[in-house]
């Protein structure tokens, strides 16, 4: 579906993002913005409701499977197994199956364990179906989003309180990043799609639709809210100028536009956690992916489903996150905070925010490395944290798997 690039409906889309700019971390704002964008898309196109198409079995060739197994390395497997502490006869919920690395590790480590393997990506679901055939009666593959999980579990006979451990591996999988046709990677040229389940929801807006439809204010707000991009205004202006000449449809086309909007000194200033040069368009790609897939609301829905279906007094939740927005949401959920309210900050963070507000009112401070990892209570009324500090990959693992450099693991036990 190609959405219109201008007109009354998309003008309204720009105004709704003013609210997102004022409170970029408020979950309710994310939800309202996404629902309104989908409604606007429907009104503009005159299409049918944006629901999923009938699910079908996804065929995965042996060559593709072997390639994915070679390229995909699960993150922090040892730490995940220790946190879940799976025992024989228990039911484990893998909420993001991906290429199945964590599920396979659980099956190898524990006998007579049952794993429910969920993924919203039909390709990953196909891999889960293959694994279910190799382990009959031990793996139950499910296709769907976190927000669709609860009724799927109930149909399988796993009602509330019937799951012993749940693993939630947020973000984008390696095999999605490695496929140029999916449009997630800025290092590979391909169509700007970025939908994790585009086959199920073909009428949902893609990254191309978003880039060529939203106005400058909406684009800048999107980049600030979902990518924590400090140069959001410059990038949004460059996108608007570029699409007047030609629609933005390719990944490297967008990467070049973002790079062209930056001063020369900024092109080489950004570094990742391994101190390697980081492309200036990385946060732009993250923002588009998070928005297109409604990742933050889906993550919140997944945490709620896990809390509902984990057994009381001992059910374990293990959450892997890969950027600060995800990690903050998980941490606040485990603390029992109201996610529609502004996050709590330390005195150091408040002082820095006040100082930066005087310099530039709309610029957001990146607080990922300064957040408190423990509030002194050991969790909320519903959770008990397993560790006082968040876990990150070891130096040895990062040498073997650099893609896990931004991973953070939080684990808790349900009270």
72-83 pLDDT, tens digit each: 688 999 999 999
Task: List pLDDT tens digits, range 171-211.
Answer: 788 788 888 889 998 888 999 999 999 889 988 999 999 99
Q: Predicted confidence band at 243 (pLDDT cuts at 50, 70, 90)?
A: very high
Tokens found for residue 121: 């990506």
Does residue 123 carry a pLDDT above 70? yes
Mean pLDDT of 6-24: 38
Q: Predicted confidence band at 397 (pLDDT cuts at 50, 70, 90)?
A: confident
Q: Cα–Cα distance between 133 and 59 in angstroms, integer?
A: 13
* Top-confidence residue, 148 or 44: 148
Q: 16-30, 152-166, 299-313, 349-363 — which is least confidently predicted?
A: 16-30
Does residue 66 carry a pLDDT above 60? no
**Every domain of the chain and the residues it spans:** 8-51+199-292, 65-175+305-335+373-414
The number of helix segments (H) and strand segments (E) in the chain equals 18, 7
Under 8 Å between Cβ of 105 and 74 = yes
Taken as a whole, the chain contains a residue count of 415
Q: 203-212, 247-256, 293-302, 390-399 — which is least confidently predicted?
A: 390-399
Cα–Cα–Cα angle for 141, 144, 146, rounded to 5 degrees: 110
Please state the pTM of the whole predicted model: 0.78
Question: What's the confidence (pLDDT) of residue 256?
Answer: 93
Question: What's the confidence (pLDDT) of residue 168?
Answer: 94
At the second CATH level, the architecture of 65-175+305-335+373-414 is: 3-Layer(aba) Sandwich (3.40)
Question: What's the confidence (pLDDT) of residue 404?
Answer: 79
Q: Predicted confidence band at 64 (pLDDT cuts at 50, 70, 90)?
A: very low
Question: What's the confidence (pLDDT) of residue 271?
Answer: 65
Would 8-51+199-292 and 65-175+305-335+373-414 be classified into the same CATH topology?
no
Mean pLDDT of 227-233: 92
Mean pLDDT of 383-391: 91
Mean pLDDT of 382-398: 89
Question: What's the confidence (pLDDT) of residue 414?
Answer: 95
Name the average pLDDT for the chain.
79
Question: What's the confidence (pLDDT) of residue 374?
Answer: 46
Q: Predicted confidence band at 289 (pLDDT cuts at 50, 70, 90)?
A: very high
Q: Cα–Cα distance between 285 and 256 in angstroms, integer?
A: 12
Question: What CATH class is the domain 8-51+199-292?
Answer: mainly alpha
Q: Cα–Cα distance between 16 and 226 in angstroms, integer?
A: 15
State what percent of residues in the chain have pLDDT above 90.
53
Question: What's the confidence (pLDDT) of residue 257?
Answer: 95
Mean pLDDT of 268-281: 69
Question: What's the confidence (pLDDT) of residue 377?
Answer: 44
Cα–Cα–Cα angle for 401, 185, 47, rounded to 5 degrees: 135
Q: In the 3-class helix/strand/coil scheme, how is 249-291 assigned residue by residue? A: CEHHHHHHHHHHCCCHHHHCCCECCCCCECCCCHHHHHHHHHH
C-alpha 139 chain-centroid distance: 24
Question: What's the confidence (pLDDT) of residue 174?
Answer: 79
Q: Predicted confidence band at 309 (pLDDT cuts at 50, 70, 90)?
A: very high
Please give the full DSSP string across 130-161, using - where no structure is assigned: HHHHHSTTTEEEEES-GGGHHHHHHHHT--TT
Cα–Cα–Cα angle for 54, 60, 66, rounded to 5 degrees: 150
């Amino acid at each position: 579906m190609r959405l219109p690039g201008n007109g009354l409906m998309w003008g309204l889309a720009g105004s709704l993002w003013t609210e997102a700019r004022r409170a970029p971390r408020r979950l309710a704002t994310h939800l309202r913005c996404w629902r309104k964008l989908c409604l606007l898309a429907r009104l503009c196109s005159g299409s049918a409701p944006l629901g999923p198409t009938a699910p079908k079995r996804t065929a995965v060739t042996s060559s593709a499977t072997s390639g994915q197994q070679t390229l995909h390395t699960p993150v922090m497997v040892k730490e995940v197994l220790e946190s879940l502490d799976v025992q024989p006869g228990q039911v484990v919920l893998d909420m993001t199956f991906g290429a199945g690395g964590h599920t396979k590790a659980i099956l190898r480590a524990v006998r007579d364990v049952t794993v429910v393997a969920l993924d919203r990506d039909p390709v990953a679901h196909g891999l889960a179906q293959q694994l279910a055939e190799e382990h009959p009666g031990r793996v139950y593959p499910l296709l769907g989003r976190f927000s669709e999980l609860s009724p799927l579990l109930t149909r399988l006979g796993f009602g509330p309180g019937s799951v012993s451990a749940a693993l939630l591996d947020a973000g984008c999988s390696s095999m999605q990043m490695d496929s140029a046709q999916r449009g997630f990677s800025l290092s590979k040229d391909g169509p700007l799609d970025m939908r994790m389940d585009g086959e199920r929801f073909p009428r949902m807006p893609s990254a191309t639709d978003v880039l060529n439809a939203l106005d400058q204010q909406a684009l800048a707000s999107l980049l600030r809210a979902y990518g924590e991009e400090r140069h959001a205004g410059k990038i949004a202006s460059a996108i608007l100028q570029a699409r007047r000449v030609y629609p933005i449809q390719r990944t490297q086309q967008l990467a070049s536009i973002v790079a062209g909007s930056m001063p020369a000194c900024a092109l080489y200033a950004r570094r990742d956690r391994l101190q390697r040069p980081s492309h200036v368009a990385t946060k732009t790609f993250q923002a588009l992916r998070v928005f297109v897939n409604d990742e933050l609301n889906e993550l919140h829905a997944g945490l709620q489903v896990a809390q509902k279906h984990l057994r009381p007094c001992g059910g374990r939740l293990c959450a892997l996150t890969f950027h600060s927005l995800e990690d903050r949401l998980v941490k606040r959920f485990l603390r029992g905070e109201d996610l529609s309210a502004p996050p709590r900050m330390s005195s150091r963070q408040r002082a820095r925010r006040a100082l930066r507000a005087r310099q530039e009112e709309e610029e957001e401070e990146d607080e990922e490395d300064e957040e408190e990892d423990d509030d002194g209570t050991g969790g909320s009324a519903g959770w008990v944290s397993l560790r006082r500090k968040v876990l990150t990959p070891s130096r040895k693992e990062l040498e073997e798997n650099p893609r896990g450099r931004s991973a953070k693991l939080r684990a808790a036990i349900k009270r």
